[in-house]
Amino acid sequence: MNTEAEKSRRSNFPLRGVAATGIGSRTFILSYLGSVLTAVGALMLLPLIPLWVYHESARHAISVFTFLLPAAAALTLGLILQKKIPLRTPSVSDAMVITALGWFVICLVGAVPFMIGLHKSFIDALFESVSGFTTTGITVFEGLDAMPRCILFWRSFIQWIGGLGILTFFLAVTFRGGSASATLFGAEGHKIGSARPVPGIFHTVRVLWGIYILFTVAGFAVFRLGGQSGFDALNHSLTCISTGGFSPHDESIGYYAAHRYAHAGFIEYATIFFMLAGGMNFLVHYRVLRGRIGTLVRDFEMRWFWAIIIFATALIMMDHYIHHPLKGAAMGETPQGVLRASLFQVSSLITSTGFATKDINTAFFSALGRQIFFMLMVVGGCVGSTAGGIKVLRLGILVEMFKTQLFRITAPRRAASAVVVRGKIISSMEIERIGSLFCNWLMLIAAGAGITALFSDLNAWQALSGMASAVGNMGPFFFSVHKMASLSWVIKATYVMGMLAGRLEILPIAILFSRAAWK
């Protein structure tokens, strides 16, 4: 008997209406997780290339099993789940559960090489893996310059994978389309109305990854031109456009000036360019590549983006000269050097990359500069970018909402008073969503800061900066990496949840722990 239900049972994407009830109705989620595990398991074999090229087994006593074992486990489990459990089109809540669980599972798998190869504790390995995949860039690893290059490459590569999202990568490599892709794409993407560059989810994902790869290749070429080694250029090209910020050097981008590279200034300006590219909406890149260069300055969000960068850079330079009026002449400091250092750090923070040429805890940046950095940690980059934060567009909408409230007070009662952005009225549902997200964002930072203060000897400002960096997927904070590495596992676990919540914009993580979503 060939009924519709029987056809649906044998199909990869059965009809939504014939889904089974009870616990078994949610097992299809495991099949999606299996697909993601298979893709990441295959990618985990790539670090074996630098392991072989640089003879890591002899130099660092690191085994091929560092990557081979977790890769084999992920591939085997992923293929079994895909074969044994059929797929079906997920609902919106199902897609958010898949998204949250997918990120948890992949971060767990990605942590295994750190435990095997570096003998790190589970919490430190998981912390580094989550920081990598979420492109946060907070590290608990010290002595990066002496680490095996296969491990350094894996740190950079997981940031590159996570830049546009693990599920968008999964959709791209599996050529999966249809309504299931649309639901998954929406669950992982930024929760705000945003146009797509082309019709169709698969074509959108393909265009986004095409632009992403183009910037990655261009970054590699430019960094090589600036004098970086091939390995450094590869790592920085991966972590720059993904706005991740992991570097193979403890001194980050400041390594090149400290070691007197001839083109250290060029490298810093190149890094600024690619950080800003990663922090911009990829739809803007698409339009620019198609000849609409004016989008860079005419778009509502881009005007806010450039204004914040210019204003913050000017304030930091002014603050530096007010507090250090004679330092320039005494230390050989030039206005161009102060401009470059200020612009670099502003670009690094507004794009949530986290690269540094000067430690933000040094005297170069006074109190006002650090306050500006903290605000940039909360704001972040543009919607549709690889950056973290609440996003510049949302900040702009919140300001427009305030202006609208002022207008309603002073204007006649019958006057139209809608919030208009880009020539379109922002719906009340979207406004409620933005307000809710912003409120929960601040509450999450406050809660994490409280836990940090409770379980450490950090002061209030340091505790607040640590959680703000985690939730904003930023990287920098107002204490040392050594101190971060020594914090309690309770704080590190809190930051892990903060990094995941920030990357997925809270909702999928909240849904995962909601009883209603599992009924």
- DSSP per-residue string spanning 171-186: HHHHT--SHHHHHHHH
Each residue of 392-438: pLDDT tens digit?
A: 999 999 998 898 888 888 877 777 778 888 778 888 888 888 888 88
The mean pLDDT value of the chain amounts to: 85
More confident residue, 429 or 295: 295
Each residue of 167-207: pLDDT tens digit?
A: 666 665 554 545 555 556 555 554 444 555 555 666 777 88
- Distance from first CA to last CA of the chain, Å, rounded? 32
17 pLDDT tier (thresholds 50, 70, 90): very low
Both tokens assigned to 234: 């590869």
Average confidence (pLDDT) over 301-322 = 94
Residue 486: predicted pLDDT: 95
Q: Do the Cβ atoms of 271 and 357 come closer than 8 Å? A: no
Strand 424-425, strand 420-421: pairing: antiparallel
- C-alpha to C-alpha distance for 142 and 249, rounded to whole angstroms: 9
Each residue of 486-517: pLDDT tens digit?
A: 999 999 999 999 999 998 888 888 887 777 66
256 pLDDT tier (thresholds 50, 70, 90): very high
Residue 463 has phi, psi (to 5 degrees) of -65, -40
Average confidence (pLDDT) over 87-91 = 77
Least confident of 89-103, 216-230, 322-336: 322-336
CB atoms within 10 A of CB 513: 9
Residue 198: predicted pLDDT: 55
- C-alpha to C-alpha distance for 466 and 484, rounded to whole angstroms: 9
Least confident of 6-10, 32-36, 82-86: 6-10
Residue 107: predicted pLDDT: 95
Q: Do the Cβ atoms of 156 and 239 come closer than 8 Å? A: yes
How far is the CA of 184 from the CAs of 1, 86, 262, 273, 337, in angstroms?
A: 33, 17, 47, 31, 45
Residue 453: predicted pLDDT: 96
- C-alpha to C-alpha distance for 108 and 403, rounded to whole angstroms: 45
Average confidence (pLDDT) over 124-146 = 95
Both tokens assigned to 218: 């261009």
20 pLDDT tier (thresholds 50, 70, 90): very low
Residue 58: predicted pLDDT: 74
Q: Which residues neighbour 194 within 8 Å (Cβ) at sequence distance 6 or greater?
A: 281, 283, 383, 384
- SS3 of 93-135: the string is HHHHHHHHHHHHHHHHHHHHHHHHHHCCCHHHHHHHHHHHHCC
Average confidence (pLDDT) over 438-459 = 94
Which of 117, 106, 118 has the alpha carbon at shortest distance from 42? 106
In 3-state terms, the chain is what percent helix, strand and coil (to 5)? 70, 0, 30
Enumerate the H helices of 229-326 as residue ranges.
230-241, 254-258, 264-279, 282-289, 295-298, 300-323
